[in-house]
Structure 1
Amino acid sequence: METLERFKNYHPKNYLHIDRKIFIGNMYTPTHNKTIRRRAFELIQDKEYVQKHAFLPFIHYSIDLKKYTFIEGHNNKTLKVLKTSSNEFNQGQYKYIKPKKREIYYASHFDSYIYKYYGELLNMYYNDFAIKYNIDECSIAYRDNKKGKNNIHFSKEVFEFILKQKNALIIALDFSSFFDNISHDELKKSLKQLLNVGELPADIYNVFKSITKFRYLEKEDLDRYLLSIKNEKDIDIDNLIQEKQIKNYMSMHTFRNLIKSNQLKVYPETIKTFGIPQGSGVSSVCSNIRLIKFDIEMNEWTKKLNGLYRRYCDDLIWIIPDVDEHQMDQIKNEIYEKISRYKDLKLQKEKTILLSYSDRKMTTLEGQSSKLDYLGFVFDGNSIKIREKSLFKYYNRAYRKTRVLAKKHHVYNRNAYMKSLYGLYTHLGMNYKGYGNFISYSYKAEKIMKALPVDVQIRQQVKRHWYKVNKRLKDNKEMYGQNLKN
């Protein structure tokens, strides 16, 4: 059994669940068996315990995301032309918000430790398997043996391969609702293949069962319960957690009673044969395991064409060199046909990107100038930039932070939390909390991409970030100051 030192990166999360937050080195008594009392890191390593462990339901909620999309017939290029030709240009006339929901599931505190541990365990098996079957370089998401590498390195590799070709066909596509559609039977087969066993070990099977037959509670129902017991119409739950006034939604005894009396509903009512929750610590490696046969097949097929195949979770790309125009449809259809054999892989063909590269130019198959948008970087054959959407998100978050700080400045008459603004959103946070920020990431990307024989414009894109952030902070301070006077 491994010592506590092995689990030094297992940290408790600050959210409410049925169980209480627990530190990995603390003593723990399972909710379903009061006779057991051992330290958490010991229990998650005990195979006999894990195979009998009763996992609590996940908690679920949805996040509404705003996705800005161009109206038909417009893109960034047409908007630039309109902007320079009219003084009354309004970008909102050419874009609309496409609603998008992200489903969030999170496990109980103790269960999350089990998922994390078994995720790491399965990753060890996966890494060995991937190396043995030559897919270690193909599957690049959720890998723990790619130390020091990130999307900068992965995208650079793809761009470098393209630049080495005289001409090439580029095919990029993604699977629709990948995690929601994963077949439980196929995942189980892949796990057996990975572990080289006829039947899954009892502990791994129990973990597998907990994410394939997973149940969940609605966060909205649990929040409503808190309101009812506190006789309040509205409660800032995050504030209560920060002030340590509440440590969990309810006791295990109360939870069981509410379920028995149908006062708290557990979903879904019928168990599905497909789909796993994206939020658990074991789900990401399971998504790679599900596709081991697929990756082997695709990589071998692509190698025969002297091409490059890469998969980042559900985003896939092929670079096939020396393809004449008569072969392009044939290659695309062959990829479609191979994917169609995997019944749980849903493909949106209309979203497939087909590009042609030749003489340092990226074009559509119809010959129009185009760009490859890959892992946050945009490459047109001659230059590399950060995706405009990433810049938009960065400035949007930075400006939102300036509004909060400007308001606090006038309420409390002090420059509250200025350090966090500059740490998160400027070059002063190059090593913010040991990780850095968007600006440090951009600088690093510029440095790494400079090794390629192209015009790298990344640093130029963020050159004025200091001026923009400070100007917005100043404007917001003046606005709140004026509002207070009025």
Structure 2
Amino acid sequence: MVRAGPKLMKTTGAGPSRPIPWDPSFEDQKHYPHFDAPLRLSEIKKIVNDPKRVASNAFFPLIQYEKKWQPFRKPRGEPSETGEPKRPSKKSRLIRYAARRDAYIFARYRRILSPLYELELEKRDIADVPIAYRKIQGPTGRGKCNIEFARDVFDTIKRLGDCYVITLDISKFFESLDHERIRKLWENLLEVRSLPADHKAVYKALTDYRWVDRTEAYRRLGYFGEKLTEKGEKIEGYLTPFAMMPKQLCSPAEFRDKIAGNGRQPSIINSNPHQYGIPQGTPISDLIANLYMVDFDQHIRNLATKSGGRAYRYSDDILLIVKACSDQAALNIEEDVRSTIAQFGSEIKIKEEKSSVHHFFPDGENQAFRRVTGKGANGLEYLGFRFDGKHVFIRDSTLSNLKRKMTFAGRIRANRHKRRYSNRTSEELIESFNFDQFFQSFMRVEDFDTASSVRQWTFWTYARRAVEAFGPRGKPIDRQLKFLKPDGRRQIEGELRS
């Protein structure tokens, strides 16, 4: 078993060498509304490269909102009272984002820690285990994306022939990270006995984070509230269009009075009450989450290598490919991973409904599979794709998300088109609607693949690259997408006719 305590390079007590100053570019600037004023590039550079200013920085609370959506896929199970399949329950995700000045500081300290983390991975010979949130070059020199990562896994399964694939998913990963462990790992990475004042300020802002609900903040500041519809009905909504929201939401005095509770109203600022958990949305959070798992990554690498296989971790998704001799041997390895992860914090838990063990074995020129336990009756699901030993498909939930986004975007675009050309008939509206442009632009790849090298792709570019990358195995992807555009067109035409 791996020891859960941090065991990085030996602490010397000497301070870290002075990092190279960061010279931010226009692409690094943030333009979303928040509590602080926008900063010029020269101001950003002075602040983030000055440890004293970072140490004394008063970090604003994060702004939080809940993103909700309705999955489109039909779940298996009991039908509804009408006999139709029950709709899956709505899903949600909390989005938190830092004030601009704070985000620049987080980004700067990510740049300081990232090379040290990469060096530690090289020393341990585990650079191929954590694959999320890092710039990993492919054969062409371009950064790898989920397509290449999934192909690596499927190719390894093919190469090993007879093997078991174990997948596990950590529940609420970022929200479960132990603060004391983070601090010790951070200190060891810098080779210091205690964090320097500037690093400590960043650490405290990340672990003792504060946040405000976006709607409540906008309500306090007069941007959200009761208004009348065109029919004279009272509803709640934005009093200032979101696109016209000022970049600085309020003055420091207004922040103190209306947000922090120094005035007549109570504070609406919430604080993290636990000794665990970091917000997922800051520029440094992903690096800290990867650093947190460095000992675990070492363990699963050793475990998989001992069994003649490979180990991968994509954020909270764990995957091991092993040459086990039986189902029980594979289940024993899975149990080893479960018991080990439990040592990395009292709140670290495995999400049972997302775990699986599959057995792949030769079947003529291809492979076949059988599910030993857990999810994946139709094959191994990984990074948006599904593999059955012979073919690669886009995962059902990925298609569900695509349909949801297409429906939402199509409704907005159709209604905007109707308002702009209100004097046209339904058929004229349909004739003048640019369907090709809509399908090319409505969904950016960054929604489901964080690799910077693919963020300007559309889903269609991504799907085409996937078919190319997987070769003959990826041909079913074309069939999966065959009716997507016709369905989207019918939905938009319906909106234009309504």
Give the C-alpha shift of residue 271 in structure 1. 3.5
Conserved? CA contact 2:168–2:355, under 8 Å: yes
Task: Measure the CA separation in 2 of the matches of 1:252 and 1:240.
Answer: 23
Residue aligning to 1:405: 413
Task: Measure the CA separation in 1 of the matches of 2:473 and 2:440.
Answer: 31
Give the C-alpha shift of residue 416 in structure 1. 6.8
- One-letter code aligned to 1:200: L
1:191 corresponds to 2:182: no
1:48 corresponds to 2:52: yes
Conserved? CA contact 1:169–1:323, under 8 Å: no
Distance 1:9 1:227, change over 3 A: closer
Conserved? CA contact 1:190–1:292, under 8 Å: no
Q: Secondary structure at the match of 2:278?
A: coil
Task: Measure the CA separation in 2 of the matches of 1:102 and 1:179.
Answer: 13
Conserved? CA contact 2:300–2:320, under 8 Å: no
From 470, 476, 481, the equivalent of 2:489 is 470
Residue aligning to 2:41: 24
1:391 corresponds to 2:399: yes
Conserved? CA contact 1:130–1:136, under 8 Å: yes
Residue aligning to 1:86: none
Task: Measure the CA separation in 1 of the matches of 2:83 and 2:458.
Answer: 29
Higher RCO by CA contacts (8 Å cutoff, separation 6 or greater): 2
Residue aligning to 2:61: 57
Residue aligning to 1:206: 201
Conserved? CA contact 2:72–2:401, under 8 Å: no
Task: Measure the CA separation in 2 of the matches of 1:469 and 1:311.
Answer: 35
Distance 1:46 1:426, change over 3 A: closer
Residue aligning to 2:251: 251
1:153 corresponds to 2:148: yes
Give the C-alpha shift of residue 216 in structure 1. 1.5
Give the C-alpha shift of residue 422 in structure 1. 3.7
- One-letter code aligned to 2:458: N
The more displaced of 161-170 and 222-231 is 222-231
Task: Measure the CA separation in 2 of the matches of 1:215 and 1:434.
Answer: 30
From 362, 373, 376, the equivalent of 2:381 is 373
Residue aligning to 2:222: 227
Task: Measure the CA separation in 2 of the matches of 1:7 and 1:185.
Answer: 34
Task: Measure the CA separation in 2 of the matches of 1:228 and 1:374.
Answer: 42
TM-align CA RMSD: 3.3
Q: Secondary structure at the match of 1:456?
A: helix
- One-letter code aligned to 1:9: E
CA deviation map 1:364-383 (0-9, x unaligned)? 12799640010000000111
Q: Secondary structure at the match of 1:378?
A: strand
Identity in percent: 24
- The count of corresponding residues between Structure 1 and Structure 2 is 445
- One-letter code aligned to 2:218: D
Task: Measure the CA separation in 1 of the matches of 2:391 and 2:81.
Answer: 29
1:442 corresponds to 2:494: no
Task: Measure the CA separation in 2 of the matches of 1:348 and 1:199.
Answer: 34
Residue ranges of structure 1 left out of the alignment (5+ in a row): 26-38, 80-88, 428-432, 481-486
Residue aligning to 2:424: none
1:351 corresponds to 2:354: yes
Task: Measure the CA separation in 2 of the matches of 1:41 and 1:125.
Answer: 22
Conserved? CA contact 2:405–2:443, under 8 Å: no
Residue aligning to 1:364: 371
Distance 1:377 1:228, change over 3 A: closer
Task: Measure the CA separation in 1 of the matches of 2:395 and 2:318.
Answer: 18
From 287, 293, 301, the equivalent of 1:291 is 293
Q: Secondary structure at the match of 1:137?
A: coil
CA deviation map 1:340-369 (0-9, x unaligned)? 222242123353211111121121127996
The TM-score with structure 2 as length reference comes to 0.80
Q: Secondary structure at the match of 2:188?
A: helix
Conserved? CA contact 1:18–1:248, under 8 Å: yes
Q: Secondary structure at the match of 1:446?
A: helix
Task: Measure the CA separation in 1 of the matches of 2:109 and 2:127.
Answer: 20
The TM-score with structure 1 as length reference comes to 0.82
Task: Measure the CA separation in 2 of the matches of 1:108 and 1:8.
Answer: 17
Distance 1:197 1:455, change over 3 A: same
Q: Secondary structure at the match of 2:87?
A: strand
Residue aligning to 2:114: 123
